[in-house]
Amino acid sequence: MSELVQVTRRDGVLIAAVNNPPVNALSPGVPEGLLAAVREAAADDAIHAVVILGTGRTFIAGADIREFARIVSGEAPPLNLAALLEEIESSAKPVIMAIHGSALGGGLETAMAGHYRVAVASAQVGQPEVKLGLIPGAGGTQRLPRLAGVEQAMRMCALGEPVTAADALACGIVDRIVEGDLLEGALAFAAERPAVRRTRELQEKLLDATQSEQLAETFRTECGRKLRGQSAPLAALDAIAATARLSFADGIAYERELFDACLRGAQSRAMIHVFFGERTVAKIPFLPKETATLPVRRAAVVGAGTMGGGIAMCFANAGIPVLLKDTTQPALDRGMATIRRNYEASVRKGRLAAAQAEQRLALITPTVQYDGFGEADIAVEAVFEEMKLKQQIFRDLDRAMRPGAILATNTSTLDIDFIAAVTSRPKFVVGTHFFSPANVMRLLEVVRGKDTSPAVIATAMELAKPLKKIAVLSGNCFGFIGNRMFGPYREQAVSLVEEGATAQQVDEALTSWGMAMGPLAVGDLAGLDVSWRVRQEALRLRRPHLEPKTFEDVLYELGRYGQKSSLGWYRYDENRRATADPEVEHLVREYAAVQGIAQRTFTSQEIVERVLYALINEGARLLEEGIALRSVDIDIVYVNGYGCPAWRGGPMHYAGAVGLAKVLEGVRKFHDELGPAWKPAPLLEQLAREGKTFEQWSR
């Protein structure tokens, strides 16, 4: 008995329990242990059935993702799960899979190689491989359609979302929902002496080639919209559609071919980088794991505007009572009305039950006073991006909050230390930069000031979990990680238009590359008045390499603030749909003539390099300065806060994919052509010289 698969016997049933914490991944030794258990059962006449389940918190949650890089590099043998599972399926004695927690990827594939599946009601099953740039590689695209039907299989494999045990029962993946103890339920199922039923032999739910292809086409369109640029979803659809024309064995071979192509592709490397990166960012090297955190049972938010209201919702959604303060009742009423509208929209979309929405609303207490702040464990300031105002609020909070409570600011660029300096408790002051809309965006930048204590940093990072955020720790600089880099990124986009490109050409180049929105359209979304104020503050702080004036200032001075004023870089209709505005083209050419800016045309590749290399170069500076702990922290900020596609892995991962020597060559060229803003970051030069990627660097 391997320690990874523990075998026991009861009532003539051989029980194989996978014991590979934390998620019972199919690491080397686990599939072999399962196969050995099934063979042991076959050889033992006293055994009439096999039950396979997971110990701890879940069934098998998939292949061991950490193995993939080793498989691609040849250090580890290719995945041969499909062959192992087929042998399990060939067992002459019924194999019953008992599912709790998550049966995902190879976990569900293993379950489907069983003859029957029972599950507890709280279990979920899915094929989320596309979220890793992969497709099911152990028979999932061939067995799932045979159990659940082609349409359900296409939806699960192409979109990657898991389904509940109840839905799995309804569509035929699961045979029974077990009340009470899962193992007892599985043993009772085995005691009914079910006949062996091999999934691979089921044909009645398969479709003919025409029907399969029509369905595949429908899902290709949906994937083109929801998963733009990703290749794995399309490969998964091809594998499933092939069930209409290939035998099971040939279907397995075809799936294998498509899986291997995905595994060796850049998109899978990028998405696996993001998968682990989203977990790495929670690990703070200088914070021992046992750093005590402070309790957060009650919260308070100051400012009932868009951000403050969204932040209050985050606390309410986590079940944490929260005071929401503004200076006037009308402002407060507006804020509460927006929150109520947001919850009503979630109920309308079926994301929330009406009762849940009411419960959450009831956790938000509007107030125009600081009364009650003394019971809060944390207050988050979310007012106008103006230092004097923030300092005044922190003086008030310092008085209103109990000793030991945390004072957090949602500032997106301003100096945390300046804010902490006006309080008696700088150790308890921290930045918690939410991204708009705060109740939707997953990213949370936690910003440590020079005096922020380890316990407060650990508490803010830990708070991300109940708030369902991904927290990334940032040092204290202008713009922290995301906005510090977004400055040069957008400045280059504006410069390209000043030099002859059109706004839509610049935006389309970046959206074709994969960004959710182009840099100029983002300016219109956030508000050119907001970015103008941020620029003025940056100029006042004498941030290096900033042009004193850009064409975007002209748009601001004309009152063209973007979507909020229906005019910005683009013209917006009542549904905020953007169209190119010839007036802007005329204005920017006029501006360029006055400024004496030479005009020329640009290719999309040049635009992408100009804008992304500026982002990467600034990211390298952040690493040198210790503002970002690791390059993956920057990648996670950009994937979760700025619309960078996971299949690009984030700007720093992308730099590695391009090759740092090539990036450096481009930066040097721009430095020669465009001046000091393009001075290559020493870290970029060093790593390019050493032939390394940013991921291979650590402080």
Query: Residues in the site for ligand T1G, rule: CB under 6 A?
Result: 22-23, 25, 61-66, 79, 81, 102, 104-106, 109, 128-129, 132, 134, 136-138, 140, 276, 279
Q: Strand (E) positions, 361-454? A: 364-367, 378-381, 406-409, 429-434, 443-448
Rounded Cα–Cα distance for residues 323 and 237 (Å): 48
| 361 Cβ contact list (under 8 Å, min separation 6) | 316, 339, 340, 343
Q: Least distance from C-beta 23 to ligand T1G, angstroms? A: 4
Q: Least distance from C-beta 252 to ligand T1G, angstroms? A: 12
Rounded Cα–Cα distance for residues 120 and 465 (Å): 25
What is the SS3 string spanning 687-698?
A: HHHHCCCHHHCC
Cross-strand bridge partners of residue 294: none
In this structure, are residues 261 and 235 in contact, taking their beta carbons and an 8 Å threshold? yes
Cross-strand bridge partners of residue 117: 97
Q: Strand (E) positions, 293-369? A: 299-302, 322-325, 364-367
Is 129 among the residues known to form the active site? Answer: yes
Dig out the tokens for 525 from the structure: 């979304």
DSSP codes joined into one string, 640-651: HHS---GGGT-H
The phi, psi pair for 52, rounded to 5°, reads -115, 130
- The conformation of residue 77, written as its DSSP 8-state character, comes to P
Provide the terminal-to-terminal Cα distance of the chain, rounded to the nearest Å.
44
Pairing of the two strands 299-302 and 124-126: unpaired
CA 51 to chain centre: 35
Helix (H) or strand (E) holding 486: helix 482-498
Half-sphere exposure of 550 (CA within 13 A, CB side): 22
Is 499 among the residues known to form the active site? Answer: no
In this structure, are residues 123 and 101 in contact, taking their beta carbons and an 8 Å threshold? yes
Longest dimension (CA), the chain: 93
Rounded Cα–Cα distance for residues 255 and 258 (Å): 5
Measure the CA angle with vertex 366, ends 362 and 368; round to 5°: 165
Rounded Cα–Cα distance for residues 444 and 536 (Å): 25
Q: Least distance from C-beta 239 to ligand T1G, angstroms? A: 11
Q: Least distance from C-beta 97 to ligand T1G, angstroms? A: 15
In this structure, are residues 42 and 93 in contact, taking their beta carbons and an 8 Å threshold? yes
Catalytic position from the list 3, 87, 109, 547: 109
Q: Least distance from C-beta 120 to ligand T1G, angstroms? A: 15
Q: Least distance from C-beta 225 to ligand T1G, angstroms? A: 23
In this structure, are residues 197 and 116 in contact, taking their beta carbons and an 8 Å threshold? yes
Q: Least distance from C-beta 127 to ligand T1G, angstroms? A: 7
Nearer to ligand T1G, 140 or 519 (CB): 140
In this structure, are residues 425 and 403 in contact, taking their beta carbons and an 8 Å threshold? yes
Rounded Cα–Cα distance for residues 337 and 440 (Å): 17
In 10 A of CB 276, how many CB atoms?
Answer: 12
Cross-strand bridge partners of residue 295: none
Nearer to ligand T1G, 129 or 609 (CB): 129
Rounded Cα–Cα distance for residues 69 and 174 (Å): 32
Q: Least distance from C-beta 194 to ligand T1G, angstroms? A: 26
| 123 Cβ contact list (under 8 Å, min separation 6) | 59, 99, 100, 101, 102, 103, 164, 165, 168
Sign of CA dihedral 231, 233, 237, 239: positive
Rounded Cα–Cα distance for residues 249 and 4 (Å): 29
Q: Least distance from C-beta 369 to ligand T1G, angstroms? A: 39
Catalytic position from the list 40, 89, 129, 184: 129
Catalytic residue positions, numbered:
109, 129
